[in-house]
């Protein structure tokens, strides 16, 4: 920390994590705009996305294709909290669209260059 209380990014891991956090935030913006080229550019070529809905989707092109198919016109991600550690980012939020709202938690891992290596999604479901 510096004298003014702000975190000083000094280690390479910190820089990569800072870049990764920005890439995660951008991923939601690109999804909401349905910009699949921009969205895909944030992922490593061999990235993996896994969720209860998708199962496991491998590769940048596969992830782009999956997200393009499930995009909802007017859908919007609301990021409520971002938690970062070296090489990892966790997002807590909600997604709205098609007349519904779903809470989610996404776990991301990062490459050494700050690209998204993996995304694992969890959704809130009320107990039955």
Q: What is the pLDDT of residues 71-122, one digit of tens each?
A: 777 789 999 999 999 999 999 999 998 888 999 999 999 999 999 999 999 9
pLDDT at residue 6 greater than cutoff 70: no
Q: In what order do the strands lie in the sheet with 43-51?
A: 55-58, 43-51, 116-123, 100-110, 88-97, 76-85
pLDDT at residue 4 greater than cutoff 70: no
Quick one: which H or E segment has residue 15?
helix 12-33
CA atoms within 13 A on the CB side of 43: 26
Ranking 26-30, 56-60, 66-70 by mean pLDDT, the lowest is 66-70
Distance CA 128, CA 125 (A): 9
Distance CA 62, CA 60 (A): 5
Distance CA 14, CA 30 (A): 24
The pLDDT mean for the chain works out to 88
Share of the chain above pLDDT 70, in %: 89
CA atoms within 13 A on the CB side of 76: 4
Distance CA 97, CA 120 (A): 21
């Amino acid at each position: 920390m510096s004298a003014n209380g702000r975190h000083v990014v000094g280690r390479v891991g910190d820089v990569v994590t800072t870049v990764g956090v920005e890439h995660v935030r951008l991923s939601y913006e690109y999804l909401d705009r349905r910009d699949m080229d921009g969205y895909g550019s944030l992922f490593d070529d061999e990235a993996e996305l896994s969720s209860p809905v998708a199962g496991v989707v491998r590769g940048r092109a596969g992830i782009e294709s999956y997200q393009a198919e499930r995009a909802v016109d007017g859908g919007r991600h609301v990021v409520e909290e971002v938690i970062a550690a070296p090489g990892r980012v966790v997002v807590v939020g909600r997604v709205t669209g098609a007349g519904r709202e779903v809470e989610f938690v996404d776990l991301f891992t990062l490459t050494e260059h700050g690209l998204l290596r993996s995304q694992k999604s969890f959704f809130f479901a009320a107990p039955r």
